[in-house]
Amino acid sequence: MTRLKNWIPWLLLIGFVLVYPMVFGIVLTNLFVRFAIFAVFAASLNMLLSFTGLLSFGHAMFFGVGGYATALALENIPGLGLMTCMAIGGLSSSLLALIVSPILVRVKDTAFALLTLALGQILFLACLKLRGITHGEDGVGGFPIPPFRIPGFLSIDMGHPQSFYYFAVAVCALSLFLMWYATRTPFGSIMAGIRDNQLRVNYLGFNIAVTKTIMFLISGCFAGVAGALFALFQNLVSPDGVFSVMTSFTPIMMVFVGGIGTFAGPIIGSAVLTSLEDLATRYTEQILLINGLLLICVVIFFRGGFIGLFKTIKQKRFANSREMPDGHPGDEISIP
Amino acid sequence: MGILETKFLSHDFDGFKVLTDVNLEIREGERHAIIGPNGAGKTTLFNVITGAYNPKEGSIFFKGKDVTGMKPYQLARMGLGRSFQITSTFLRQTAFQNIRLAVLSKRQIRYNLFRRIDTMREVTEETEAILHQINLYEERHALTSSLSYGKQRSLELGMAIGTDPDLLMFDEPTAGMSREETHYAVRLIRKLTEGKSMVIVEHDMDVVFSLADRITVLHHGRILATGEPDAIKKDQQVKSAYLGDTEV
């Protein structure tokens, strides 16, 4: 009975997601896709930030490489399948992670943040300058969007927003689940150990460099998947759109607004910021100003983000025990 | 051959000699204490052995293998466990999670991304067994930062034995403890290291003489004497260098 009860919220959520595009029309359907893509992007950043203790200021490089790899593949290889595109997006970003990890595993804290910022800028500039491949500032656009196809069974055109919605949301949900699952495995425990006390983890017999590299591969892969979806969604990737500093900063804001140190934080943050952006752009062009104000409020008044706020309210209404639930390091733990 | 041996081990910091030709032998199954006045090089010796830094000269043999220059995690995998003078735990995790990480290491579960950790029954059982041993079972779900200092020290010891090492190295395990806590810690260490090889660096002479089978005295980075507690007590050189100004 309790097991069934646990499933009810999830079933309601799935039901909501399924009927959403039928109820809300194209504009809000596309808004949801945007939210889902950025939820995955922000969650991939959060894997490093909340679960490994590393703040990346250049996460756009993984997002961008995933997006560009997908766009360029579709432009140059005829007949490419949709799922192959996703794989190309994820794997190309993992490859990038593999290339940069020998430098990244050596540093932490501020040095890590600055190094990722620098690497991100290098890719941004490379993307602008390598016109022969990337078309410079114009970006890559107008490439064919392949249909979702199971050979001999079905083929769904992705040109329709509603079909793309179902595809994108399914990929995002799966990505989020896989990342969440990773935090619950022994590997996730080692990551949390590295976050809290790297020295001790080393003396317990874990190779820090190898563990971090695997984490970069995972985080990069999902950022790349988000980038690939973004490329398909916009049918355009440009240096400013996917490689810029703002693209790196967006998921950081989402994590802080939603609640750092939790898995759901970036998802909530993405929901808040994408809807806020949609609302605000109807009245003003100064969307960054509004985002900035929100971030200031979060940092000053509720550091734990929206999740922290919910918890405070809940705790005030129901006196909670101070004990941690049995389970896993990462959740319920705020990062100062 | 002992479980751990150093041969002509020397180390300096920017030319300042801290260790000179240290030939240390830890026998299988013994409790060996390293003592010496402040600045004698005890902690440096400890850090060089556990892989924190490479010795400038000389070599280290662990279980008969040359391990000079090996990284801490490599030594840990070979069966060298250590505790820290300044408590080094995972403060934002529970006592249970702290010990579980050591158990994962022991069972060589490192990059497993396919199974949920809370479904690994053997890991949980083993973790709980260690928590029982260090008398922290009741507090297993409390955040480490909320535990008392003495209990955090117990957790520190628990993590060191959690990897089931062949040689345990304790760096001042009773540092900062009250008399009572110290007595408790000594009893705990004796229980946890039953039948194991152990090295302890310690300031507290009561602790040293109640625990150690053999003692090595370091002075100005050199070994002054090695022997059984009674012999060390009587050693004239040791007396003048070290014990002379403490009442034992």
pLDDT given at position A314: 82
Give the chain B residue nearest A205 (alpha carbons). Answer: B73
CB pair distance less than 8 Å for A204 and B105: yes
d(CA B10, CA B55): 6
Percentage of residues of chain A with pLDDT beyond 90: 59
pLDDT given at position A318: 67
Residues in chain A whose beta carbon is closer than 8 A to a beta carbon of chain B? Answer: 181-182, 184-190, 192-193, 196-197, 199-208, 210-211, 214, 322-329, 333
In degrees, rounded to 5, the angle at the alpha carbon of residue B16 between the alpha carbons of residues B11 and B19 is 30
pLDDT given at position B214: 93
| Best CA proximity match to B242, nearest among B35, B5, B27 | B35
Nearest-CA distance B174 → chain A (Å): 19
Q: Is residue B55's pLDDT more than 80?
A: yes
CB pair distance less than 8 Å for B141 and A201: no
| Best CA proximity match to A264, nearest among A310, A212, A224, A201 | A310
Which sequence spans correspond to the domains of chain A? 23-255
Give the chain A residue nearest B99 (alpha carbons). Answer: A204
Q: Which helix (H) or strand (E) holds B223?
A: strand B222-227
| Core vs surface per residue B173-199: b (16+ CB within 10 A) or e | bbbebeeebbebbbebbeebbeebbbb
pLDDT given at position A81: 87
From residue A30, alpha-carbon distances to A230, A235, B125 in Å are 11, 13, 49
Q: Is B117 on the interface with A (CB under 8 A)?
A: yes
The whole-model pTM stands at: 0.89
Per DSSP, the three-state class of B23 is coil
Residues of B in contact with A329 (CB under 8 A): 90, 92-94, 97
From residue A201, alpha-carbon distances to A62, A113, A188, A211, B166 in Å are 27, 22, 13, 11, 18
Q: Is B83 on the interface with A (CB under 8 A)?
A: no
* Pairing mode, strands B167-171 and B16-22: unpaired
Q: How many CB atoms lie within 10 A of CB B150?
A: 17
| Core vs surface per residue B91-107: b (16+ CB within 10 A) or e | bbbbbbbbbbbbbbbbb
| B185 vs A316, residue with greater confidence | B185
Give the chain B residue nearest A326 (alpha carbons). Answer: B141
CB pair distance less than 8 Å for B111 and A214: yes
Structure tokens at B169: 């190295």
Contact residues, B window 91-110, toward A, CB-based 8 Å cutoff? 91-94, 96-97, 100-102, 104-105, 109-110
| Rounded mean pLDDT, B215-220 | 90
Q: Is B76 on the interface with A (CB under 8 A)?
A: yes
From residue B56, alpha-carbon distances to B48, B63, B220 in Å are 10, 21, 17
Q: Which helix (H) or strand (E) holds B4?
A: strand B4-13
The Cβ-side half-sphere exposure at B7, using a 13 Å CA radius, reads: 11
d(CA A98, CA A92): 10
| Rounded mean pLDDT, B142-169 | 91
One-letter-per-residue 3-state SS of B65-128: EECCCCCHHHHHHHCEEECCCCCCCCCCCEHHHHHHHHHHHHCCCCCCCCCCHHHCHHHHHHHH
Nearest-CA distance A52 → chain B (Å): 13
In single-letter form, the type of residue at position B149 comes to Y
| Rounded mean pLDDT, B75-80 | 94
Per DSSP, the three-state class of B237 is helix
d(CA B160, CA B199): 12
Q: Is B122 on the interface with A (CB under 8 A)?
A: no
| Rounded mean pLDDT, B116-132 | 92
Task: Nearest by CB to B114, from A185, A189, A196: name it.
Answer: A185
CB pair distance less than 8 Å for A186 and B115: yes
Q: Is B49 on the interface with A (CB under 8 A)?
A: no
A31, A275 Cβ separation under 8 angstroms: yes
| Best CA proximity match to B74, nearest among B105, B98, B34 | B105
Which sequence spans correspond to the domains of chain B? 1-79+168-173+196-248, 85-164
pLDDT given at position B245: 53
Residues of B in contact with A190 (CB under 8 A): 101, 104, 110
Task: Nearest by CB to A323, from B72, B141, B163: name it.
Answer: B141
Give the chain B residue nearest A199 (alpha carbons). Answer: B88
A150 - beta bridge partners? A154
pLDDT given at position A149: 80
pLDDT given at position B248: 42
Q: Which helix (H) or strand (E) holds A156?
A: strand A154-156
pLDDT beneath 50, residues of chain A = 320-336
| Best CA proximity match to B159, nearest among B92, B108, B105 | B105
Residues of B in contact with A185 (CB under 8 A): 112-117
d(CA B80, CA B63): 10
CB pair distance less than 8 Å for A205 and B163: yes
The string of pLDDT tens digits covering residues A67-98 is 999 999 998 888 888 889 899 999 999 999 99
Q: If pLDDT is split at 50, 70 and 90, which confidence band does B176 have?
A: confident
Does residue A79 come out as left (phi exceeding 0), alpha (psi in the -120 to 50 range) or beta? left
Give the chain A residue nearest B139 (alpha carbons). Answer: A323
Number of residue pairs across A and B with CB atoms under 8 Å? 111
Structure tokens at B155: 């957790």
Task: Nearest by CB to A189, from B71, B104, B162: name it.
Answer: B104
Nearest-CA distance B248 → chain A (Å): 34
pLDDT given at position A335: 41
From residue A63, alpha-carbon distances to A44, A48, A70, B14 in Å are 10, 15, 11, 46
Q: Taking all residues of chain B, what is their mean pLDDT, rounded to a whole number?
A: 89
Residues of B in contact with A50 (CB under 8 A): none
| Core vs surface per residue B116-136: b (16+ CB within 10 A) or e | ebeebeebbebbbebbebbeb
ipTM associated with this complex = 0.90
Residues of B in contact with A188 (CB under 8 A): 117
Residues of B in contact with A328 (CB under 8 A): 97, 117-118
Percentage of residues of chain A with pLDDT beyond 70: 94
Candidates B73, B75, B85, partner chain A, best to mutate (most A CBs within 10 A): B73
Give the chain A residue nearest B162 (alpha carbons). Answer: A204
Residues of B in contact with A210 (CB under 8 A): 111
Q: Is B144 on the interface with A (CB under 8 A)?
A: no
Task: Nearest by CB to A200, from B88, B109, B115: name it.
Answer: B88
pLDDT given at position A329: 47
Candidates B86, B88, B107, B117, partner chain A, best to mutate (most A CBs within 10 A): B117
CATH topology of domain B1-79+168-173+196-248: Rossmann fold (3.40.50)
**DSSP letter, residue A263:** S
Per DSSP, the three-state class of B207 is helix
Nearest-CA distance B238 → chain A (Å): 33
